[in-house]
Structure 1
């Protein structure tokens, strides 16, 4: 950072003079000392310095962000670090996918029930229409029969005989 400015967070923590070409200065500003403290605790300043020097300048900011993330994860879970967090998230994704599949299956089941109910109602409506047409045909036939009987009864040529009365051929 230079002699006129305050030293970067790493130089403050390590209690050294911050040089003009300090590799940590652009990524660990003095106003956020906790960030470097985490990375230093997990990886060590020497290792971080070596990693940053091996990377092109345009990739260093992303590398520092990754180191900070991994250091936070290692502090929270010393055994698994960020792999534990990733595993937890993958398990949650799997569980949510299973819940989604179950919900989709339930929706499909309800849709199939609705289709079956609709088909049943359509069949019942068709049967009702068939029954209605049969009833209409029967009513028409009954009306025709009634007209025939009326015509028969009013015709002078037709004699209605009492079936209990016997007539003799001799009288």
Structure 2
């Protein structure tokens, strides 16, 4: 098993994300964008998926976040379980999909594209079984329910618990 500490890029991603959680989303975004440029479009899909996933959370504008969430999903589609298990032996690619589709659904919803939002919330629900019975699984399941309800109401308002630059700052 490879841990995040032996993968320099994952260590740098974690450090940058920590900046965002500590209230400095601008610094986090700058560092993650530097890593994105260094990784490149043909780089390790695990790095690209992780970078894009966290970058999306650093944009309050749903159109900007959508770009990064699409990149994260595309990178996940290029991933293998073998690759993610080199990072941590309990990971599987399928467990990434509930969160990735949730984020896409939420962005499409905020942009008023309710059909696309509904398709992605359905995809998130199809993958819910891959979530663990832990705090993270509970968080994602609750968010899927909140986004589904907001889609049904045709709401484009930002969810109070949604990740984003203002939520962390």
TM-score in same-fold range (> 0.5): no
TM-score (normalised: structure 1): 0.23
Higher relative contact order (CA 8 A, sep 6+): 2
